[in-house]
Structure 1
Amino acid sequence: MKIGPKAGLLAPSFSLQGTDGTTYVVDGPREKAVLVNFWASWCDPCKEEAPELNTMATKYKDVLDIYGINVSSQDYKPNAERFIKKYGLVFPVMFDVKDEVYSKYNGAVFPTNVLIDKNGVISEIILGILSPEELEKKIIKLTES
Protein backbone atom coordinates (compact mmCIF):
# COMPACT_ATOMS: atom_id res chain seq x y z
CA MET A 1 0.00 0.00 0.00
CA LYS A 2 1.41 3.37 -1.04
CA ILE A 3 0.91 6.15 1.47
CA GLY A 4 1.16 9.62 0.02
CA PRO A 5 0.86 13.15 1.18
CA LYS A 6 -2.31 14.22 2.92
CA ALA A 7 -3.61 17.04 5.07
CA GLY A 8 -1.74 17.34 8.33
CA LEU A 9 1.51 15.89 6.99
CA LEU A 10 4.65 17.75 5.98
CA ALA A 11 4.56 18.55 2.28
CA PRO A 12 7.06 16.57 0.19
CA SER A 13 10.00 18.82 -0.58
CA PHE A 14 10.94 19.79 -4.11
CA SER A 15 13.04 22.24 -6.06
CA LEU A 16 12.27 23.18 -9.68
CA GLN A 17 13.52 25.86 -12.01
CA GLY A 18 10.89 28.31 -13.16
CA THR A 19 10.46 29.63 -16.67
CA ASP A 20 12.07 32.85 -15.36
CA GLY A 21 15.30 30.99 -14.47
CA THR A 22 14.71 31.19 -10.71
CA THR A 23 14.77 28.00 -8.63
CA TYR A 24 11.64 27.61 -6.51
CA VAL A 25 11.66 25.45 -3.41
CA VAL A 26 9.09 23.89 -1.10
CA ASP A 27 10.90 22.43 1.89
CA GLY A 28 9.56 22.94 5.41
CA PRO A 29 8.84 26.29 7.10
CA ARG A 30 8.66 29.40 4.89
CA GLU A 31 7.65 33.06 5.05
CA LYS A 32 4.40 32.58 3.14
CA ALA A 33 1.84 29.86 2.62
CA VAL A 34 1.95 28.29 -0.84
CA LEU A 35 -0.55 26.91 -3.31
CA VAL A 36 1.02 24.36 -5.65
CA ASN A 37 -1.06 24.02 -8.82
CA PHE A 38 -0.48 20.98 -11.06
CA TRP A 39 -1.85 21.60 -14.55
CA ALA A 40 -1.74 20.65 -18.24
CA SER A 41 -2.47 22.87 -21.26
CA TRP A 42 -5.20 20.58 -22.64
CA CYS A 43 -7.12 20.51 -19.35
CA ASP A 44 -10.36 22.53 -19.69
CA PRO A 45 -10.80 23.05 -15.92
CA CYS A 46 -7.17 24.30 -15.81
CA LYS A 47 -8.08 26.88 -18.47
CA GLU A 48 -11.10 27.92 -16.44
CA GLU A 49 -9.04 28.18 -13.26
CA ALA A 50 -6.03 30.11 -14.66
CA PRO A 51 -7.58 33.62 -14.48
CA GLU A 52 -8.72 32.99 -10.90
CA LEU A 53 -5.24 31.85 -9.86
CA ASN A 54 -3.86 35.06 -11.40
CA THR A 55 -6.33 37.09 -9.34
CA MET A 56 -5.42 35.24 -6.13
CA ALA A 57 -1.68 35.54 -6.83
CA THR A 58 -2.01 39.31 -7.12
CA LYS A 59 -4.54 39.83 -4.32
CA TYR A 60 -2.69 37.70 -1.74
CA LYS A 61 0.91 38.26 -2.90
CA ASP A 62 2.05 39.39 0.56
CA VAL A 63 0.91 36.19 2.29
CA LEU A 64 0.72 33.52 -0.44
CA ASP A 65 2.99 32.13 -3.15
CA ILE A 66 1.39 30.28 -6.04
CA TYR A 67 3.57 27.87 -7.98
CA GLY A 68 2.21 26.50 -11.25
CA ILE A 69 3.70 23.14 -12.17
CA ASN A 70 3.13 21.84 -15.67
CA VAL A 71 3.21 18.06 -15.67
CA SER A 72 5.32 17.74 -18.79
CA SER A 73 4.90 14.00 -19.45
CA GLN A 74 1.17 14.68 -19.80
CA ASP A 75 1.66 17.69 -22.09
CA TYR A 76 3.51 19.11 -25.10
CA LYS A 77 5.89 21.89 -24.05
CA PRO A 78 5.03 24.34 -26.90
CA ASN A 79 1.34 24.01 -25.95
CA ALA A 80 2.19 24.64 -22.30
CA GLU A 81 4.20 27.73 -23.29
CA ARG A 82 1.23 29.01 -25.32
CA PHE A 83 -1.03 28.41 -22.31
CA ILE A 84 1.28 30.48 -20.07
CA LYS A 85 1.29 33.32 -22.60
CA LYS A 86 -2.44 33.14 -23.42
CA TYR A 87 -3.49 33.35 -19.77
CA GLY A 88 -0.70 35.78 -18.83
CA LEU A 89 0.21 33.78 -15.73
CA VAL A 90 1.60 36.17 -13.12
CA PHE A 91 2.91 33.48 -10.77
CA PRO A 92 6.02 31.31 -11.23
CA VAL A 93 5.60 28.37 -13.58
CA MET A 94 7.83 25.31 -13.65
CA PHE A 95 8.03 22.24 -15.87
CA ASP A 96 8.04 18.92 -14.02
CA VAL A 97 9.85 17.20 -16.88
CA LYS A 98 10.33 13.83 -15.20
CA ASP A 99 7.08 13.91 -13.19
CA GLU A 100 9.14 13.75 -10.00
CA VAL A 101 7.10 16.35 -8.12
CA TYR A 102 3.73 15.18 -9.46
CA SER A 103 4.64 11.64 -8.37
CA LYS A 104 5.70 12.80 -4.89
CA TYR A 105 2.25 14.34 -4.49
CA ASN A 106 0.49 11.23 -5.92
CA GLY A 107 -0.98 13.35 -8.70
CA ALA A 108 -3.98 11.78 -10.39
CA VAL A 109 -6.14 14.53 -11.92
CA PHE A 110 -5.83 18.03 -13.39
CA PRO A 111 -5.91 20.45 -11.88
CA THR A 112 -4.66 19.42 -8.47
CA ASN A 113 -4.08 22.22 -5.96
CA VAL A 114 -2.08 21.58 -2.82
CA LEU A 115 -2.44 24.15 -0.03
CA ILE A 116 0.63 24.28 2.21
CA ASP A 117 0.86 26.44 5.34
CA LYS A 118 3.86 28.48 6.51
CA ASN A 119 5.08 25.52 8.57
CA GLY A 120 5.35 23.39 5.42
CA VAL A 121 2.34 21.27 6.39
CA ILE A 122 -0.33 20.34 3.85
CA SER A 123 -3.59 22.03 4.75
CA GLU A 124 -5.61 20.48 1.93
CA ILE A 125 -5.31 18.73 -1.42
CA ILE A 126 -7.98 19.82 -3.89
CA LEU A 127 -8.66 17.51 -6.83
CA GLY A 128 -10.36 19.33 -9.67
CA ILE A 129 -11.66 22.87 -9.76
CA LEU A 130 -13.52 24.89 -7.13
CA SER A 131 -15.66 27.96 -7.62
CA PRO A 132 -13.66 31.19 -7.27
CA GLU A 133 -15.48 31.89 -4.00
CA GLU A 134 -14.64 28.49 -2.51
CA LEU A 135 -11.01 28.76 -3.55
CA GLU A 136 -10.72 32.21 -2.01
CA LYS A 137 -12.29 31.01 1.27
CA LYS A 138 -9.70 28.24 1.45
CA ILE A 139 -6.87 30.68 0.70
CA ILE A 140 -8.06 33.06 3.42
CA LYS A 141 -8.24 30.20 5.92
CA LEU A 142 -4.78 29.00 4.87
CA THR A 143 -3.12 32.40 5.12
CA GLU A 144 -4.72 33.24 8.46
CA SER A 145 -3.60 30.00 10.14
Structure 2
Amino acid sequence: MKRNLYILLGVIVLIGIALYQNAGPGIQAAFQHEKPMPTETGPEAGLLAPAFTAQGLDGKEYHVGGTRDKAILLNFWASWCEPCKQEAPELNAIAEKYKDSLAVYGVNVTKYDTKKNAQKFVDKYGVQFPVMFDLKADIYEKQYKGVVFPTNVLIDKRGVVQEIVLGILPQKDLEKKVKKLINS
Protein backbone atom coordinates (compact mmCIF):
# COMPACT_ATOMS: atom_id res chain seq x y z
CA MET A 1 0.00 0.00 0.00
CA LYS A 2 2.77 2.43 0.95
CA ARG A 3 4.63 1.51 -2.23
CA ASN A 4 1.62 2.52 -4.39
CA LEU A 5 1.33 5.80 -2.49
CA TYR A 6 5.00 6.61 -3.16
CA ILE A 7 4.62 5.78 -6.83
CA LEU A 8 1.53 7.98 -7.07
CA LEU A 9 3.31 10.89 -5.33
CA GLY A 10 6.29 10.47 -7.67
CA VAL A 11 4.06 10.60 -10.73
CA ILE A 12 2.28 13.71 -9.43
CA VAL A 13 5.62 15.45 -8.79
CA LEU A 14 6.88 14.58 -12.30
CA ILE A 15 3.67 15.85 -13.89
CA GLY A 16 3.96 19.04 -11.84
CA ILE A 17 7.54 19.58 -12.99
CA ALA A 18 6.60 18.98 -16.63
CA LEU A 19 3.70 21.44 -16.42
CA TYR A 20 5.85 24.04 -14.70
CA GLN A 21 8.62 23.84 -17.31
CA ASN A 22 6.18 24.04 -20.22
CA ALA A 23 3.68 26.48 -18.74
CA GLY A 24 5.01 29.39 -20.85
CA PRO A 25 1.89 31.04 -22.29
CA GLY A 26 -0.38 28.78 -20.22
CA ILE A 27 -0.65 25.24 -18.96
CA GLN A 28 -2.44 24.30 -22.19
CA ALA A 29 0.85 24.77 -24.05
CA ALA A 30 2.20 21.52 -22.60
CA PHE A 31 -0.54 19.61 -24.41
CA GLN A 32 -0.56 21.46 -27.76
CA HIS A 33 2.13 19.79 -29.83
CA GLU A 34 0.83 21.08 -33.14
CA LYS A 35 1.85 24.63 -32.17
CA PRO A 36 5.53 25.37 -31.59
CA MET A 37 6.42 26.61 -28.14
CA PRO A 38 7.32 30.32 -28.06
CA THR A 39 11.05 30.97 -27.81
CA GLU A 40 13.26 33.89 -26.91
CA THR A 41 15.00 34.00 -30.29
CA GLY A 42 14.03 37.57 -31.07
CA PRO A 43 12.08 39.01 -33.96
CA GLU A 44 10.66 36.65 -36.54
CA ALA A 45 9.59 37.09 -40.13
CA GLY A 46 5.98 38.20 -40.20
CA LEU A 47 6.11 40.04 -36.86
CA LEU A 48 6.60 43.75 -36.21
CA ALA A 49 10.22 44.81 -35.87
CA PRO A 50 11.14 45.90 -32.34
CA ALA A 51 11.12 49.71 -32.27
CA PHE A 52 14.11 51.73 -31.14
CA THR A 53 15.78 55.11 -31.48
CA ALA A 54 19.55 55.50 -31.48
CA GLN A 55 22.05 58.27 -32.11
CA GLY A 56 24.16 58.07 -35.24
CA LEU A 57 27.78 59.00 -35.87
CA ASP A 58 26.45 62.16 -37.50
CA GLY A 59 24.75 63.22 -34.23
CA LYS A 60 21.23 62.65 -35.60
CA GLU A 61 18.70 60.31 -34.05
CA TYR A 62 17.38 57.45 -36.15
CA HIS A 63 14.19 55.54 -35.50
CA VAL A 64 13.25 52.00 -36.50
CA GLY A 65 9.73 50.70 -36.04
CA GLY A 66 6.29 51.38 -37.44
CA THR A 67 5.14 52.46 -40.88
CA ARG A 68 7.63 54.33 -43.07
CA ASP A 69 8.12 55.60 -46.62
CA LYS A 70 10.98 53.15 -47.25
CA ALA A 71 11.85 49.58 -46.37
CA ILE A 72 14.81 49.13 -44.00
CA LEU A 73 17.90 46.97 -44.12
CA LEU A 74 19.16 46.97 -40.53
CA ASN A 75 22.79 45.80 -40.28
CA PHE A 76 24.32 44.85 -36.89
CA TRP A 77 28.12 44.81 -37.01
CA ALA A 78 31.43 45.28 -35.16
CA SER A 79 34.68 46.74 -36.50
CA TRP A 80 36.75 43.62 -35.75
CA CYS A 81 34.35 41.29 -37.61
CA GLU A 82 35.98 40.00 -40.82
CA PRO A 83 32.66 39.20 -42.58
CA CYS A 84 31.47 42.73 -41.68
CA LYS A 85 34.53 44.13 -43.47
CA GLN A 86 33.73 42.03 -46.55
CA GLU A 87 30.11 43.13 -46.51
CA ALA A 88 30.64 46.89 -46.04
CA PRO A 89 31.32 47.72 -49.73
CA GLU A 90 28.32 45.60 -50.79
CA LEU A 91 26.03 47.41 -48.35
CA ASN A 92 27.32 50.76 -49.65
CA ALA A 93 26.48 49.71 -53.22
CA ILE A 94 22.99 48.52 -52.23
CA ALA A 95 22.33 51.67 -50.19
CA GLU A 96 23.27 53.84 -53.17
CA LYS A 97 21.42 51.80 -55.79
CA TYR A 98 18.15 51.60 -53.82
CA LYS A 99 18.33 54.91 -51.93
CA ASP A 100 14.86 55.98 -53.12
CA SER A 101 13.11 52.91 -51.73
CA LEU A 102 15.44 51.48 -49.05
CA ALA A 103 16.99 52.92 -45.89
CA VAL A 104 20.15 51.08 -44.87
CA TYR A 105 21.05 51.57 -41.21
CA GLY A 106 24.20 50.24 -39.63
CA VAL A 107 24.16 49.50 -35.92
CA ASN A 108 27.60 49.19 -34.34
CA VAL A 109 27.25 46.96 -31.30
CA THR A 110 29.59 49.16 -29.29
CA LYS A 111 29.45 46.97 -26.19
CA TYR A 112 31.74 44.61 -28.13
CA ASP A 113 33.62 47.39 -29.90
CA THR A 114 34.61 51.03 -29.33
CA LYS A 115 33.34 54.26 -30.84
CA LYS A 116 36.90 55.01 -32.00
CA ASN A 117 37.22 51.70 -33.86
CA ALA A 118 33.73 52.07 -35.30
CA GLN A 119 34.67 55.49 -36.70
CA LYS A 120 37.88 54.07 -38.20
CA PHE A 121 35.82 51.30 -39.84
CA VAL A 122 33.34 53.83 -41.29
CA ASP A 123 36.21 55.96 -42.64
CA LYS A 124 38.20 53.01 -44.03
CA TYR A 125 35.24 51.46 -45.85
CA GLY A 126 33.59 54.75 -46.81
CA VAL A 127 30.28 53.80 -45.23
CA GLN A 128 27.67 56.08 -46.81
CA PHE A 129 24.59 55.07 -44.83
CA PRO A 130 23.73 56.14 -41.26
CA VAL A 131 25.59 54.29 -38.53
CA MET A 132 24.22 54.18 -34.98
CA PHE A 133 25.81 53.14 -31.71
CA ASP A 134 24.30 50.41 -29.54
CA LEU A 135 26.43 51.28 -26.53
CA LYS A 136 25.17 48.59 -24.13
CA ALA A 137 23.98 46.11 -26.80
CA ASP A 138 20.40 46.69 -25.62
CA ILE A 139 19.09 46.79 -29.18
CA TYR A 140 21.19 43.87 -30.42
CA GLU A 141 20.89 41.54 -27.43
CA LYS A 142 17.62 42.43 -25.73
CA GLN A 143 15.39 43.53 -28.60
CA TYR A 144 16.79 41.66 -31.61
CA LYS A 145 18.32 38.70 -29.71
CA GLY A 146 21.44 38.93 -31.86
CA VAL A 147 23.86 36.02 -31.94
CA VAL A 148 26.24 36.63 -34.84
CA PHE A 149 27.96 39.45 -36.74
CA PRO A 150 26.87 40.58 -39.18
CA THR A 151 23.12 40.23 -38.85
CA ASN A 152 20.86 41.88 -41.42
CA VAL A 153 17.20 42.39 -40.62
CA LEU A 154 14.99 43.19 -43.61
CA ILE A 155 11.95 45.26 -42.58
CA ASP A 156 9.18 46.30 -44.95
CA LYS A 157 7.42 49.69 -45.13
CA ARG A 158 4.78 48.51 -42.66
CA GLY A 159 7.45 47.80 -40.04
CA VAL A 160 7.16 44.02 -40.42
CA VAL A 161 10.28 41.84 -40.42
CA GLN A 162 10.45 40.01 -43.73
CA GLU A 163 13.71 38.14 -43.21
CA ILE A 164 16.72 37.86 -40.90
CA VAL A 165 20.06 37.07 -42.54
CA LEU A 166 22.77 35.73 -40.24
CA GLY A 167 26.27 36.18 -41.64
CA ILE A 168 27.04 37.41 -45.14
CA LEU A 169 25.61 36.50 -48.50
CA PRO A 170 27.04 37.09 -51.96
CA GLN A 171 25.98 40.57 -53.09
CA LYS A 172 23.69 39.21 -55.83
CA ASP A 173 21.81 37.07 -53.27
CA LEU A 174 21.45 39.93 -50.81
CA GLU A 175 20.31 42.18 -53.63
CA LYS A 176 17.60 39.63 -54.62
CA LYS A 177 16.33 39.73 -51.05
CA VAL A 178 16.37 43.54 -51.10
CA LYS A 179 14.38 43.64 -54.35
CA LYS A 180 11.82 41.25 -52.89
CA LEU A 181 11.66 43.41 -49.73
CA ILE A 182 11.11 46.63 -51.68
CA ASN A 183 8.36 45.02 -53.77
CA SER A 184 6.55 43.51 -50.77
TM bucket (normalised to shorter chain) is over 0.9
Amino acid at match of 1:49: E
Residue 61 of structure 1 pairs with residue 113 of structure 2: no
The aligned length equals: 145
Distance 1:84 1:133, change over 3 A: same
Counterpart Cα distance in 1 of 2:41 and 2:128:
33
Residue 94 of structure 1 pairs with residue 132 of structure 2: yes
Residue 121 of structure 1 pairs with residue 129 of structure 2: no
TM-superposed CA distance for 1:2, in Å, is 2.2
1:22-58 per-residue CA deviation (whole Å, 9 max, x = no partner) reads 1100121100000000000010000000000000000
Q: Which residue of 2 aligns with 1:141?
A: 180
Counterpart Cα distance in 2 of 1:43 and 1:112:
11
Task: Please state whether the residue corresponding to 1:5 is helix, strand or coil.
Answer: coil
Q: Which residue of 1 aligns with 2:25?
A: none
Where in structure 1 are there 5+ consecutive unaligned residues? none
Task: Please state whether the residue corresponding to 1:89 is helix, strand or coil.
Answer: coil
Cα RMSD of the aligned pairs, angstroms, is 0.9
Q: Which residue of 1 aligns with 2:33?
A: none
Indicate the percent of aligned positions where both proteins have the same amino acid. Answer: 61
More strand by share: 1
Counterpart Cα distance in 2 of 1:137 and 1:114:
14
Task: Please state whether the residue corresponding to 1:102 is helix, strand or coil.
Answer: helix
TM-superposed CA distance for 1:98, in Å, is 1.3
CA contact 2:71–2:156 (8 Å) conserved in 1: yes
Q: Which residue of 2 aligns with 1:85?
A: 123
TM-superposed CA distance for 1:76, in Å, is 2.3
Question: For 1:43, which of 68, 71, 81 is the aligned residue?
Answer: 81
Task: Please state whether the residue corresponding to 1:24 is helix, strand or coil.
Answer: strand
Where in structure 2 are there 5+ consecutive unaligned residues? 1-38
The structure showing larger relative contact order (alpha-carbon pairs under 8 Å, at least 6 residues apart) is 1
- Per the normalisation by structure 1, the TM-score is 0.97
Counterpart Cα distance in 2 of 1:83 and 1:2:
31
Amino acid at match of 1:26: V
